[in-house]
Chain A
Amino acid sequence: MYENYAHVLIFALVAVGVVVAPLILFALIRPVRPDAEKLSAYECGERVVGTPWIQFNIRYYLVCLVFLVFEVEILLLFPWALVYGAFIGGPEQVEALAQGAANTSEASGGMAFVAMFIFMVILAVGLAYDWGKGYLEWETEITTSPEIEEKEVA
């Protein structure tokens, strides 16, 4: 196993090197003629007004929040998917995988399915809740007139 991951490590270093090397090497022959206009941020040809580093809309953040939880849940499904076939095969196959690490006498395909199914249902409940409450909609309020807005705030 180590050598496979050693390949990964070396490849990672090579990949970084592939980026860094031309940045440094070609800096020698690249023209460098900076001026204030060139170095300013792109604002469609106009002067920059205000800062882009503002308190951003929360919607992107909520997407990420939902993502994190689902990511963890799906991660838990990977080991299950990996051994599900063995569970269908029966306790002997599971025992062969576990190598004595776990109590496998009751392993069966039906049990593994039910375990996953409960897990999936809980996942679905979370999704259904967010769906029902409208947290998955991108923009929850597009009002057409200011008066509605005022009512909501009040």
Chain B
Amino acid sequence: MATKQKLRSERMLISMGPQHPSTHGVLRLMLETDGEVVEHAEPHLGYLHRCAEKIGENLTYQQFTPYTDRMDYLASMNENWAWCRAVEELTNLEIPQRGEYIRLIICELNRIASHLLALGTFGLDTGAFTPFLLAFRERETILDIFEAVCGARLTYNYVRVGGVLWDLLPNHVEMIRDFLVQFTSKLDELNDLLSENQIFVKRSANVGIITAEDAIEYGFTGVNLRASGVDWDLRRDEPYSVYPEIEFEVCLGKGIKGTVGDSWDRYYVRVQEMYECVKMILQALDQLPPGDFCGKVPKMLKAPKGREVYVRTENPRGELAFYLVGGGKNIPHRVKARAPAFVSLCPIEDLFHHMYIADLVAALGSLDVVMGQVDR
């Protein structure tokens, strides 16, 4: 067929990023393009590398918590929690029940905030500006709650080893409840504006498809894995904290608008997950027990030398795991983070092959990477 004939033209080497509006930070993609089609994309990382893991090996367990804030700066609470869980596992600390509930509430709120930003920027990548700002307005409210709870808006350092920093006061609970009541309707609105938008569907459905096998082989986790149709959620399948006492559903990509595992699915799983988060927080608020919010933690937290743990936590971007080796004293011997965003970047070379530039941007946006976590 004539249409299959190959036309010769030179390929343009073009550097997309680090300073590019749609590479979500400082990702650099070396694109080899032929007209509108990307023939090859090669990610260049490390623009935000801060040796976080090495720093962790020189600080006490408690001192490292604020560094985790800077890794995934969009879901700092979850990042704190992951670190604290690893440390607690390593040192066999007991956490009071109230502390666990507060952690769950706050981290699920942060999951909403993180997903909102992912949706907003995904919309922005496809050219829709308004959903971005509408999502940001809701995110602002969450940040206000966080500010009231812990005093910071971006890097919280709120979830501490042994519990949380401050108690959740009745007025905070009130704020969260107020937010959740209006949030569901706002989310419906956002959903109407973007999810069913024909242009948006055509831009994201069937774009950047990752099958279930591929997703598993690449080590995908979290939303990106579930969007490919793999029913796996740590909160349910390997429950930690007080998740067993909370009822929720695991949302999966069903390929409603196209194929299972396309960008639209990844987008839509995030939307559904936010509804689930609302349910979970409401349950947790109802069940919130009285008591201490933080356990007894010795000033000099020590872990036996050579003891190692690998603790994984379901974060907005996937499974964030910390691998810790105790150093005998109050400093860990080895710190290693498994960053889900880094894993999400792995299929880039395979995925961004023979693809429109516009599709590349959309697919990259749907993977929802945070460069702070990738580079660490």
- Other than the given A59-B36, A60-B35, A142-B354, 10 more pairs (CB < 8 A) read A43-B15, A44-B19, A49-B15, A52-B12, A54-B10, A56-B35, A57-B37, A140-B5, A141-B4, A149-B6
Q: Is the CB of B256 closer than 8 A to any CB of chain A?
A: no
Select the stretch in A11-19, A90-98, A110-118, A131-139 that faces chain B.
A131-139
Residues 49 to 91 of chain A near chain B (Cβ within 8 Å)? 49-50, 52, 54-60
CA distance A54 to B10 in the complex (A): 6
Whether, in the assembled complex, A152 has its beta carbon less than 8 Å from a beta carbon of chain B, the answer is: yes
> Can you give 19 contacting A-B residue pairs, CB < 8 Å?
A43-B14, A44-B16, A44-B20, A45-B17, A49-B13, A50-B12, A54-B9, A55-B10, A57-B7, A58-B9, A58-B35, A59-B36, A134-B2, A139-B36, A139-B356, A140-B3, A141-B4, A142-B355, A152-B4
Q: Does A103 contact B (CB under 8 A)?
A: no
Q: Which residue of chain A is the closest to B20 with respect to CB atoms?
A: A44
Chain A interface helix/strand/loop/mixed: loop
Give the residue of A44, A50, A60, A140 whose beta carbon is less than 8 angstroms from that of B4. Answer: A140
Contact with A along B5-44 (1 / 0, CB 8 A): 1111111111111111001000010100011110000000
**A4 CB–B CB distance under 8 Å:** no
CA distance A135 to B3 in the complex (A): 7
- Roughly how many angstroms separate A44 CA and B17 CA in the complex, as a whole number? 5
Q: Is the CB of B36 within 8 A of A138?
A: yes
Is the CB of A46 closer than 8 A to any CB of chain B?
yes
**B residues with CB within 8 A of A:** 1-20, 23, 28, 30, 34-37, 354-356
A25 within 8 A of B: no
Complex Cα distance, B6 from A143, in Å, reads 11
Closest Cβ of chain A: how far from B274's Cβ, in Å? Answer: 32
The reply to whether the CB of A105 lies closer than 8 angstroms to some CB of chain B is no
Candidate in A44, A59, A141, A152 with the most chain B CB atoms within 10 angstroms? A44
Q: Which among B16, B19, B37 is the interface contact of A139 at CB below 8 angstroms?
A: B37
**Contact B9–A46 (Cβ < 8 Å):** no
A153: CB under 8 A from chain B? yes
CB distance from B15 to the nearest CB of A (A): 5
Q: Which residues of A contact B8 (CB under 8 A)?
A: 55
Residues of B within 8 A of A40 (CB): none
Q: Is the CB of B13 within 8 A of A142?
A: no
Closest-by-CB residue of B relative to A54 is B10
Contacting A57 at CB < 8 Å: which of B2, B15, B19, B35?
A: B35
- A120 to B10 CA separation, bound complex (whole angstroms): 38
A152 contact set on B, CB distance < 8 A: 4-6
Residues in chain A near residue B11, CB distance under 8 A: 54
Q: Identify the closest chain B residue to A135 (Cβ).
A: B3
In the bound assembly, the distance between CA atoms of A62 and B166 in angstroms comes to: 66
A134 and B6 alpha carbons, distance in the complex (Å): 14
> Which of chain B's residues has its CB closest to A52's CB?
B12
CA A58 to CA B5, docked complex, whole Å: 12
Q: B9 — nearest CB in chain A belongs to which residue?
A: A57
Residue B354 contacts which of A49, A57, A135, A143 (CB distance < 8 angstroms)?
A: A143
Closest Cβ of chain A to B291, distance in Å, is: 52
CB of A144 closer than 8 Å to a CB of B: yes
Rounded to whole angstroms, the CA-CA distance of A143 and B34 in the bound complex is: 14
- Measured in the bound complex, the distance between the Cα atoms of B9 and A138 in whole Å is 15
Contact A45 B19 (CB under 8 A): yes
Which B residues touch A44, using CB under 8 A?
15-20, 23, 28
- Find the residue from B5, B11, B35 having the highest chain A CB count within 10 A: B35
A4 to chain B: closest CB distance in Å? Answer: 41
